Structure 1
Amino acid sequence: MVRLVMILLGVDYLRSRWRSVMTLGLLSIALGMVIFTDALDGALYFPIVPFALMMLLEGLATLAVAWTGIGGQRKLRYAKGTTFCLSALLVLIGGEHGNFVLSLIFGTLFLVDGALQIVSSRVVRFRRWRLATAGGVLEIAIAIFFYQPYPDHYAGTVAYCVAFGLFFGGWNMILLAARVRRLAANPAAEDPADVAASEVAMRASSSFAGAVWDGPPAPHEPALTVHVWTPVGTAKSQPRRQLIVDRYIAAVDRNGTISTGHAALETPEGVYISLYPAVEIDRSPNEFTRTLRATRENDVPGLFQPDYATESKAWCPSTQQVRIRNYDPVRLERFWREYRRDTTYNLTYRNCSSSVARALEAAIEGASARVWGKGGGWKPLLRIMATPELWVAAQVRKRAATMAWTPGLTLDYARALSMLADPRHSGWVKMARIAVATMYRSRQRWRAEEHAAAHARDAAAVTAEHGPG
């Protein structure tokens, strides 16, 4: 999440605030230690019931406005609201049974995530796979801590969760502050041409200040487009449906051929990023397992496609598109200028999806600061931290970093980032607007009905006075 927050806010925004971020991180860790220590003896001073009531209210409020979301946003709100309500009810039910169920839920989440991280890192063997393995071991240790009843017989489950949340959140803020502090100068200032282009981009981006949109860009609006060819949509023959696998990894057709899909990025300025192996990789089941390793022996020559029209004509149109208004064409052009010098292709660590993900991050750098940063202050940071899509994007990025970027993960990542870069109206604002519009239409309809009734009464009076003829 550290890297993602840095991308969305931009180094320029964070550089002048690194001391405050560092202080908040240290305070968060200190508070987490106090809450964790308090829970060890089972006699809680932590206000557990007020905390549960706040969670319940937040969950009910989220469910109340979930229907106003669009697509994945609606599903995410329903998931968040249901999770908050269920957790709060388990806390309020209290007793040994409620705390035990919560411990099982949290422990299982940590166990599954840790085990998946260990297995994927050892299979893929990316550059920092040992560090990822250590993180997975830590998650399994936390899962064991939740499973076993010592020392408080599950009475401190919620307090432990809050403490771990403060620990990890504080640690992320410290890492963020440390990274920003090391970036003493803006790399864009090194090239005079980039400086001039950045000034033009800053003037153009002023139109994004305070902007909030009702939905994705219209077809006629200029926007960055992420094209995704899903594995199922690009299978040569009828695929064998496999839940989750054919969505995020690969689809296997009835002939045994593996389809991994594809991803590309396109902008109105003419940038088109689509990396493909120059020679088709053997994707039979036996060879596919070997090529998953992110090692040098699996590097092959790659080829960048010229444009979307050429690629879609030679293959097929993309099956999914995600469009984003708020992006920086200058930063994207700078990234593309450097990235295309190396045409190496690796199925795991440098493929079409990882190329698109990196380009997308370069393009949306500082997007939240452009929208919410007018007048300075902490509003951009608070806004993105309160947006559920930040957590989704962070989880997708983490999973891709420990496994591999795939078209399915890239699609989810682009959708989450589009909500952060192009913020939508909050559910309450949208619901209020819908309510006002509904009342206005109802009033107009009532007036029309009253006018029609009055006209009918006048006609009846005239008929009664002068007769039917």
Structure 2
Amino acid sequence: MVQLVMILLGVDYLRNRWRGLMIAGWLGVLAGLIVFIDALDNAIYFPLHPFAFLLLVEGLATLTVAHTGIGGQRTLRYVKGGAFSLAALLILSGHHHGHFILSMIFGILFLTDGLLQIASASVVRYKNWKFVVAGGVIEVMLAIFFFQPYPTHYVGTVPYCLGLGLIFGGWNMVMLAMRVKKLEVNPAVLGNTAAEEASSAETAPLVTEWDGPPAADEPALTIHVWTPVGSSKSAVVPHPVIDRYIAAVDKNGVISTGHAALESPEGVYISLYPAVDIDRSPDQFTRLLRATADNNVEGQFQPDYVTESEKWCPSTMQVRIRNYDAERLKRFWEIYREDNTYNLTHRNCSSSVARGLEAALEGVVGKIWGQRGHWWVLSKILTTPELWVAVQIRKRAKTMAWTPGLTLDYARALSMLADPRPAGWIATIRRALKKMFSLRKQWRDEKAQGTTAPTASHEPSNDKGK
């Protein structure tokens, strides 16, 4: 999460506020430890029911306004509202079964994520993969902690989770403050001093919210994705989830992994492909998953989208973003294209697009909300569901590999942050009132047309009678 927040808010924005971040982070860690330790002695002082009631209110409120969301935002609101409401109802049920079910849910989530992290890191073997395996082991241990009843017989599940959330969140804030304290440029993206100065000199955009994605004729950064199923030459054998995020296998046994590219109105086109097609037969595919130097091959960058789509086929999905930094993207591309190395898991089309997208979005959220108080900006981004979705996608891609499916979801989540959509109660009420007045005007017009229509039809009948 630290790197993604650094990318979206920008080093310039965060560096001037590192002391406040540090203090808030340590306070979060301290509060988390207090809540967690308090829950260990089987005497729960944490106000479970008031907390559950607030959780229920938030969940129901989110479900109420979920239909006003656009695209993926609507889905995220339904998921968030449903999860909050379910957790609150399990707590408010007031008996052992509710706490037990909640503990099992958290345990399964930690266990699944930990095992997946261990397995993927062990197969891909990218740099520092052993640290990721260690993190997966810790998640498995936390899962075991939630599965077993000691010491509170599952009643302490909520304080445990809240305490862990405060600890990890506070520690992430401390790490963020330590990293931005003395930074001049953002290590998460490629850039230079000139680009940083040019970007910081720009004024914040006047528009801070949009009702939807950019129009077809509106200049925007475009992420093109060819899904594995959509790019397969023959009919594929259905494999749910695998088809979406990893690869599709057709009836002849040929594997299709899809493709991703990034296009900007300024002429930058990032589309990396192996110079010679890689043998992706099932018996060789496992070996190619290793992110090691022996799997590096020569790659080639496609000239533009028109050329690539004519040679192959149009992209299956597109994500378009208004708010991006063209200078940073240009600088990134000038450096990145000097190396045409291709690696199926470590440096592929999707990882190239993800890195280019992060370079283009560096500091855009800080520019959008920079005129507001910095704590308001930080709370705004940390409470946005799309940030947490993007964090999880980025984590999964870093521990496994960037795929077109992950790149598509990542771009969609970041587009909600770069081009914010109305999400709060005030915006929702405003839109609801606007719709009410629009419907009222429509009804008045229909009523007026209804009263004049008989008169218009009556006159010809009189003429005819005469």
The corresponding residue for 1:94 is 94
Q: State the distance in 1 between where 2:453 and 2:294 align.
A: 87
* Cα displacement (A) at 1:435: 2.7
2:249 equivalent among 249, 252, 273? 252
Q: State the distance in 2 between where 1:400 and 1:185 align.
A: 24
Query: Structure 2: which amino acid aligns with 1:88?
Result: A
Aligned positions of 1:409-428 closer than 5 A: 409-426=406-423, 428=425
Query: Structure 2: which amino acid aligns with 1:257?
Result: V
Could you tell me the TM-score, scaled by structure 1's length? 0.93
The corresponding residue for 1:465 is none
- Are residues 228 and 446 of structure 1, via their aligned partners in 2, closer, same or farther at CA, if it must alter by over 3 Å? closer
The corresponding residue for 1:208 is 205
- Are residues 445 and 130 of structure 1, via their aligned partners in 2, closer, same or farther at CA, if it must alter by over 3 Å? closer
Task: State the Cα deviation string for residues 23-58 of structure 1 (Å, max 9, x = none).
Answer: 111111111111111111221111111110111011
User: Structure 1: where are the runs of 5+ without partners?
Assistant: 463-467
Aligned positions of 1:272-421 closer than 5 A: 272-374=269-371, 377-421=374-418
- Equivalent residues of 1:68, 1:430 under 8 A apart: no
The corresponding residue for 1:5 is 5
Query: Structure 2: which amino acid aligns with 1:436?
Result: L
- Are residues 92 and 293 of structure 1, via their aligned partners in 2, closer, same or farther at CA, if it must alter by over 3 Å? same
Q: State the distance in 2 between where 1:455 and 1:317 align.
A: 51
* Cα displacement (A) at 1:405: 0.2
Aligned: 1:229 with 2:196: no
- Equivalent residue pairs, number: 460
Aligned positions of 1:82-231 closer than 5 A: 82-184=82-184, 194=195, 198-199=197-198, 201=199, 205-206=202-203, 208-231=205-228
- Equivalent residues of 1:66, 1:427 under 8 A apart: no
- Equivalent residues of 1:228, 1:411 under 8 A apart: yes
SS in 1 for 2:219: coil
- Equivalent residues of 1:121, 1:402 under 8 A apart: yes
Q: State the distance in 2 between where 1:308 and 1:173 align.
A: 40
The corresponding residue for 1:20 is 20
Q: State the distance in 2 between where 1:113 and 1:278 align.
A: 35
Q: State the distance in 1 between where 2:46 and 2:325 align.
A: 45
The corresponding residue for 2:435 is 438
Task: State the Cα deviation string for residues 221-255 of structure 1 (Å, max 9, x = none).
Answer: 11110000000000110001101001000000000
The percentage of aligned residue pairs carrying the same residue is 62
Q: State the distance in 1 between where 2:225 and 2:446 align.
A: 50
SS in 2 for 1:239: coil
* Cα displacement (A) at 1:312: 0.7
Could you tell me the TM-score, scaled by structure 2's length? 0.93
* Cα displacement (A) at 1:191: 6.1
User: Pairwise CA RMSD of aligned residues?
Assistant: 2.4
Could you list the runs of 4 or more consecutive aligned residues of structure 1 that deviate by over 3 angstroms after TM superposition? 184-188, 190-195, 427-431, 445-460
Task: State the Cα deviation string for residues 73-96 of structure 1 (Å, max 9, x = none).
Answer: 111111111000000000001221
Query: Structure 1: which amino acid aligns with 2:222?
Result: T
Q: State the distance in 2 between where 1:274 and 1:421 align.
A: 22
* Cα displacement (A) at 1:206: 2.8
* Cα displacement (A) at 1:451: 4.4
* Cα displacement (A) at 1:207: 5.6
- Equivalent residues of 1:240, 1:251 under 8 A apart: yes
User: Structure 2: where are the runs of 5+ without partners?
Assistant: 460-464
The corresponding residue for 1:41 is 41
Q: State the distance in 2 between where 1:420 and 1:25 align.
A: 23
- Equivalent residues of 1:55, 1:88 under 8 A apart: yes
* Cα displacement (A) at 1:334: 1.0
